[in-house]
Amino acid sequence: MEFKHKKKYGQNFLNNRDEILNKIIEVSDISDNDEILEIGPGQGALTSLLVEKVKK
């Protein structure tokens, strides 16, 4: 599915996406026993990293 992003809607984009996502995971201090509810992640870039770190 192709997304058409529009700056007029306040959408902003990361040039260094992988670096930022890994930093979010690092500072979130989650463990493998935590249960995470993620809302509104867009295309799921953060979700795929969270799935590797937590139980549910």
Annotated binding site for S-adenosyl-L-methionine: 12, 14, 40
Binding site, by residue number, is 12, 14, 40
Residue appearing with tokens 């996502």: 21
